[in-house]
Amino acid sequence: MINVQNVTKSFNGIEIIKGVSFEIQKGEVVGFLGQNGAGKTTLMRILTSFLPATTGKVTVMGKDIASDSLAVRRKIGYLPETPPLYPNMIVKDYLIFAAQLKDVLSKDIPYQLEKVMAECGIEHVAHKVIGTLSKGYKQRVGIAQAIINDPEILILDEPTSGLDPVQIQTVRQLIEGFKGKKTVILSTHILSEIEQTAQRVLIIKDGRILADDALDHLLKTHHGMNLEEIFLNIVKRDSNPTILKKT
Amino acid sequence: MKKIFIIAAKELKSYFRSPIAYIVLVITISIFNMFFFVLINEGQEATLRDILTIMEFMFIFIIPLLTMKIFAEEKQTGTIEFLVTTPTTNTVIVLGKFLGSLLFFTLLMSVSIFYYIIIEIFASPDKWTILSGIAGIWLEGVMFVAIGVLTSSWTRNQILAAITSYVILFLLFFSLSFTEHVGGNAAILIRYFSTKTHAENFIAGLINTVDVVYYLSAIFICLTLTRLSVENRLWR
């Protein structure tokens, strides 16, 4: 479904992403795990075609992200690290605006609107001004805009960042609801988040993938270690990098 | 094409969601009205020449305030990431945002039509000279809007966007005074690039191809550069 081949990204001559390759199958929930500044957000921005890769190739459902960007963008729902919300807009108007830009047919907009607002639990704030909402609700509105066109792929950058435990639980349940329905890529540095939602983990450090494995397999091969210990172990071992391939 | 209007409508509405639009409209139109009645009363001339010159001068100060947020605010809040990752081309985004600002500016400019109607009721003005003047100042204002949209695409700081607009507009507007100090080809060049030269012809009732081409090409160049700026994400 998503094929990333030898992708690099440089800013002002500094290589942020260093020859990354991986493949994601349909329906997988994949977690990008890494410290701050590891390159998770840059990688996601490349996948969403917000940023072009310096070298390498990315295809989504067989379509090249560089040459067929519009077609790829129709398939992807994206929640950036900061929810992309217009503070002066009313929630419902914002979601209609998002639906229109994402090519949802006019006749389908009322149904899609009702569906995503119910899924995200934001029906009762539909007529509120976005700027007046709590952080948790803003995040839910951000997720609602990402799924308004019922995309096959969902890319969520730090979806629970800055939320309180109750809000984290709500957003997590929301993401779990996508399991089996959509291909989900989420980035986080919160390990419990990955443990609870992802099936596969990509550990990223300094723009390189240090490990790419199914979560169950990763836990099984590191006897008795939890994900945090595994993560720290792999990151520390990075002085002698050996990529652990998915089995 | 439909998305251009969707984005433009959102932009236009966003002006009215903040008090700034109302303040700008009320203050600007009040000043225009005041000058209109003073000039008509003093001059006793059935012309809009002087009020159009004042409008032109004031637009230099007002338009950067209207356009500074167009892209800078999107970058500041991160909504640009949403906008450019939807299946919408950069050209459509730029045209939609430009059209939204253009419509707000046109609303501001529409007051001049009322001045024309008032003069038409009480006197016998030279209709075509007035309409040519209104069209010229409108076209000039649209160019100012395009410049404002361009400078807003260069930064995430709205104040910086406005200051950059002011610098460009001041150069275009006041450069004519330099012609006294330079001669030859430099003076010809300055005269051509000065927006005042072209606007004056419109106000005098002269619609020349050169003047129309000047404004249209400047608008086109600004919008093309804006599209490139959005595409390159240089502001990251």
d(CA A4, CA A45): 13
Domain that includes residue B176, residue range = 2-232
Q: How confident is the model at residue B5 (pLDDT cuts 50, 70, 90)?
A: very high
Is the pLDDT at B87 greater than 70, yes or no? yes
| Residues of chain B above pLDDT 90, percent | 53
End-to-end CA distance of chain A: 18
d(CA B12, CA A231): 49
Distance from CA of A60 to the nearest CA of B (A): 14
Q: Considering its fold, how many domains does chain B have in total? A: 1
Look at B3 and B118; give whichever has higher pLDDT. B3
Contacts of B77 in chain A (CB under 8 A): 82, 84-87
- The pLDDT tens digits of the residues spanning A166-195 come to 878 888 888 888 888 889 999 887 787 788
Q: What is the pLDDT of residue B114?
A: 84
d(CA B148, CA B75): 15
Return mean pLDDT, chain A.
Answer: 88
- The pLDDT tens digits of the residues spanning A100-123 come to 999 999 999 999 999 999 988 899
d(CA A183, CA A128): 31
Q: Which of residues 103-122 of B touch A (CB under 8 A)?
A: none
Is the pLDDT at B205 greater than 90, yes or no? no
Enumerate long-range contacts of A100-107, CB under 8 Å, 24 or more apart: A100/B2, A100/B3, A100/B6, A101/B3, A101/B6, A101/B7, A101/B83, A101/B86, A101/B87, A101/B88, A102/A74, A102/A148, A102/A149, A102/B86, A102/B87, A103/A74, A103/A149, A103/B87, A104/A148, A104/A149
Q: Is A59 helix (H, G, I), strand (E, B) or coil?
A: strand
Contact yes or no for A229/A196 (Cβ under 8 A): no
- Contacts A–B by Cβ distance under 8 A: 64
Q: How confident is the model at residue A1 (pLDDT cuts 50, 70, 90)?
A: confident
Which is it for strands A2-11 and A14-24: parallel, antiparallel or unpaired? antiparallel
Identity of the amino acid at A105? L
Distance from CA of B54 to the nearest CA of A (A): 33
Residue range B194-223: average pLDDT? 92
Residue of B nearest to A148 (CA): B86
Report the predicted TM-score, pTM, of the whole model to 2 decimal places: 0.89
Contact yes or no for A148/A105 (Cβ under 8 A): no
Return mean pLDDT, chain B.
Answer: 89
Look at A54 and A227; give whichever has higher pLDDT. A54
Q: E strands within chain A?
A: 2-11, 14-24, 29-34, 55-60, 63-64, 76-79, 153-157, 183-188, 200-205, 208-214
Distance from CA of B164 to the nearest CA of A (A): 24
Is the pLDDT at A240 greater than 90, yes or no? no
Write the burial class of residue A201 (CB in 10 Å: 0-12 exposed, 13-18 middle, 19+ buried). buried
At residue B183, what are phi and psi to the nearest 5 degrees? -125, -170
Contact B86 A101 (CB under 8 A): yes
Q: How confident is the model at residue A155 (pLDDT cuts 50, 70, 90)?
A: very high
Is the pLDDT at A246 greater than 70, yes or no? no
d(CA B202, CA B231): 36
Q: How confident is the model at residue A239 (pLDDT cuts 50, 70, 90)?
A: low
Contacts of A70 in chain B (CB under 8 A): 87, 89
Q: Which of residues 29-58 of B touch A (CB under 8 A)?
A: none
Which residue reads 């002011």 in tokens? B166
Is the pLDDT at A247 greater than 70, yes or no? no
Contact A73 B85 (CB under 8 A): yes
Q: What is the pLDDT of residue A80?
A: 94
Distance from CA of B80 to the nearest CA of A (A): 8
Contacts of B87 in chain A (CB under 8 A): 70-71, 73-74, 101-103
d(CA A134, CA A128): 11
The interface predicted TM-score of the complex, written ipTM, equals: 0.87
Contact A82 B77 (CB under 8 A): yes
Distance from CA of A216 to the nearest CA of B (A): 33
A51, A88, A102 ranked by CB distance to B233: nearest: A51
